[in-house]
Structure 1
Amino acid sequence: MAIGVHAPETDLMLPRPEPGEQWDPHTIHTYYFGFSIPEAGIGAFLYLRLQPAFPLSQGGVCLFRGTDNVEATDIAFLDYEITMPWPTVDGRTITTDNGLRIEFLEPGHRARITYTSKEGTTSVDVTAEAVTPLLARGHVMPGEENHHDVSRAAGGSEQFMHMTGGLVLDGERHVVDCYAPRDRSWNQVRVEKRGAVPVPPVGWSPMYFGPDLVFNQISFEAPDTEPPWLGLYDVGDRPSHHYAWVQVGDETRTVTWVRRSVLERHPRTHLPLRQVVEARDERGDEYRFEGEAVAAASLPAWPNVSFHDSVYRWRDQQGRTTHATYQEIWFDEFQKEMRRRHAPATAAAL
């Protein structure tokens, strides 16, 4: 299936119910930007989630360093509010109550993201310049699409950006110059009810090696790799990925097969620390990427699941390396299974 491209104005879509309308309370619009500073082991998660049925929003700035961030409050800097009023929207600029500001200088192509902590010791000022098309992406979790409201068109987009600017973290200055994905969703119904979307842990692994190779996929670990979710979820015979693409020069190709294999997990957070992603595109070209985490954290974006962000160092078949976010999300059944498996080792460590 061909990968579509969204119009630039979708960046500004923030519909709300008309007077008298009743929307599903789980309807969401989201914005995600991120960046990494690999040499310092730093990752940034800049997120806004809007709930138009109320209307409310949540989000803010999460900055993490190193791989041993077990709790959200372990990270280097946390300013994330679960309940905020609807953000201020002034033309092409969206500003949250806690000061995260997203200005779309050129929708679909360029944005500036700024933030300053109330203490004034931590700040973000980065510009995002598009290096890939504004590709159309659907739902995040397999099965989530079954809950969407068919009366309102749901959508999503993904795009790789050249992130430049600066970060001040607790008074320490860092230069930002990296390639990182952004994404957003609108009118999606992301249910939080227990058992509504029974799916194994899902991992997102975008990678930018250069204009000749940009890769992205969302999948669960392939069943033939003996993943720890076996026996907890019935995935039938569906593919392990549900969205994947590769950009080769100016050409965007659909990825038709993905096999993701985890080699090592963090002993306490259970996030993959090392893994291999293999893939094949619609033309039959094959890819293999080996990755390891240089920073990782548990984050509060979705309280009904375990949500983790990380900075991964990826290596392609030619030996080239790049860094980008790797994000994974799972439900409580998997968390309990991993705790059971690691209980003896954890007790010994304590």
Structure 2
Amino acid sequence: MAVHTHPGSTDLLLPLPSAGESWDPHTIHTHYFGFSVPETAIGAFIYVRYMPAFPLTQGGVCVFQGTDNVEHADMAFLDYEMTMPWPTIEDGAITTANGLTIDFTEPGKTAALRYRACENRMSFDLVAEAVTPLLARGHVMPGEEDHHHAGTQPGGSEQFVHMTGQLVLDGTTYPVDCYAPRDRSWRQVRVEKRGAVPVPPVGWSPMYFGPDLIFNQISFEPLDTEPAWRGLYDVGDRPSHHFAWVQRGEETRGITKVRRNVLEYHPRLHMALRQEISAVDETGEEYFFRGEAVAAASIPAWPNCSFRDSVFRWEDPHGRTTYSTYQEIWFDAYHHAMLRRAARTAHA
């Protein structure tokens, strides 16, 4: 799998339909950033979803602490609006109606993120500095590519950043100093029609151990791990991952094989609580990681499905540890199966 890069100018790529032009209503652009304060089990999800066919946006800020955030309102702080006007864009700074600013001070390399809640309960002032190239990424969900065509000109990018600054939550100041991924999509057609993407739960597990080892993959659990989704979906003989890479110093390598094995599911959120990931890169080098969630939450970004964000503590075979987001998404057939599974466990 060849890994390519995008120019920094794509950070500000937010096209709108031309006069008289009609776009698929499910066309989206996105910006995602996140950060964590692992010692206090805090994670943050910062997201803007642009819907240019209308045009409108949705998004905002979710801050969660611990692993019991089952309802959206369980989170420590939530300011996420489903319908906002197109943001203000000025000199590289994107500002939403609910006060989130993403300022690309040097597109492709540096961004400043600022937010202050209207009632002053929460604020942050952060700088995100790139530590990897701006890597080109295709679609996020398997099957999504079926809804793209030459005229849509879809694209996406991923990048690890060093996130520094501070979070103020309910009067307490938390220094932020972590390595976190950011990503975005543009002109992707992400359909919400029921049954449009019949796929097992997909998990995204970026992790930064140091400049010599930065790993990223998105996959479903393969059948040989006896996943909870067995019997619900027919995945054929396709690989369990559809996008993965590893950064070894200055070298970016594609990943040829991923095996993600979930050891424990959250009893109410139903996402992976403990898991192992093994992988092989294009040179034949092998990798193995073991992880456990220290924070987890249900996130409102995609209301037609179940979407979870978390902070995972990862360990490699040499004892090095790191913390990063782990995100998982699935649709209702799987969710109902997990509810039945939880009920059986409760009555066993």
Q: Give, as a single letter, the amino acid of the residue that structure 1 aligns with 2:167.
A: L
Find the residue that maps to 1:151 and give its secondary structure. helix
* Cα-to-partner distance string for 1:224-246 (whole Å, 9 max, x where unaligned): 00101111111000000000000
Query: Which residue of structure 2 aligns with residue 200 of structure 1?
Result: 200
CA apart distance, 1:259:
0.1
Distance in structure 1 (CA, Å) of the matches to 2:48 and 2:290: 31
Aligned to 1:257: 257
Asked whether the 8 Å contact 1:260–1:276 carries over to 2, the reply is yes
Q: After superposition, what is the alpha-carbon deviation per residue over 1:203-259, rounded to whole angstroms, capped at 9, x for unaligned?
A: 000000000000000000011001011111110000000000000010000000000
Q: In the alignment, which residue of structure 2 is the partner of 1:273?
A: 273
Q: State the Cα distance separating 1:120 from its structure 2 match.
A: 1.1
* Deviation of 1:271 (Å): 1.1
Matched with 2:297 is: 297
Counterpart-to-counterpart distance in 2, 1:345 and 1:261: 20
1:346 is displaced (CA, Å) by: 4.5
Q: Normalising by structure 1, report the TM-score.
A: 0.98
Paired AA for residue 18 in structure 1: S
Partner amino acid, structure 1, of 2:280: R
Query: Structure 1 residues 236 and 168, CA, compared in 2 at 3 Å: closer, same or farther?
Result: same
Q: Secondary structure at the match of 1:14?
A: coil
The residue number in structure 2 matching 1:130 is 130
C-alpha distance in 2 between matches for 1:32 and 1:121: 22
CA contact (8 A) 1:87 1:97 kept: yes
Distance in 1 (CA, whole Å) between partners of 2:263 and 2:164 is: 33
What is the DSSP-based 3-state SS (H/G/I as helix, E as strand, rest coil) of the residue aligned with 1:142?
coil
* 1:111-150 map, 5 Å: 111-150=111-150
In 1: Cα distance, 2:84 partner to 2:347 partner: 39
Amino acid at match of 1:279: A
Alpha-carbon contact 1:268-1:346 (below 8 Å) kept: no
1:110 CA displacement: 0.1
Q: Does 1:39 align with 2:65?
A: no
Output the aligned Cα RMSD. 0.9
Shift in Å, 1:344: 3.7
**Structure 1 residues 271-316: Cα deviation after superposition (integer angstroms, max 9, x where no partner):** 1110000000000000000000000000100000000000000001
Cα distance in 1 between the residues matched to 2:91 and 2:249: 34
- Note the C-alpha offset of 1:343: 1.0
Deviation of 1:339 (Å): 0.5
Contact 1:315–1:322 at 8 Å: present in 2 too?
Answer: yes
Deviations 1:143-189 (A, max 9, x none): 10110142131000000000000000111110000000000000000
1:31 partner letter = H
Distance in 1 (CA, whole Å) between partners of 2:162 and 2:289 is 21
Structure 2, unpaired ranges of 5+: none
Who is 1:248 aligned against? Answer: 248
> What letter corresponds to residue 24 of structure 2 in structure 1?
D
C-alpha separation in 2, matches of 1:152 and 1:292: 38
SS of corresponding position for 1:227? coil
Q: Which amino acid aligns with 2:26?
A: H
Distance 1:251 1:206 in 2: 17
Equivalent position amino acid for 2:3 in 1: I
Please give the alpha-carbon distance, in whole angstroms, between the structure 1 residues aligned to 2:170 and 2:139: 36
Name the % identity: 69
Instruction: State the aligned residue count.
Output: 348
3-state SS of the aligned residue for 1:99?
A: coil
Question: TM-score with structure 2 length normalisation?
Answer: 0.99
Q: Secondary structure at the match of 1:217?
A: strand
CA–CA separation in structure 1 for the residues paired with 2:153 and 2:347:
49
What is the aligned partner in structure 2 of residue 334 from structure 1? 334
CA contact (8 A) 1:149 1:189 kept: no
CA deviation after TM superposition for structure 1 residue 113, in Å: 0.4
Q: 1-side partners of 2:156 and 2:76: how far apart?
A: 30
Where does residue 237 of structure 1 map in the other structure? 237
* SS, match of residue 150 in structure 2: coil
CA distance in 2, matches of 1:213, 1:134: 16
Separation in 2 of the partners of 1:345 and 1:337?
Answer: 12
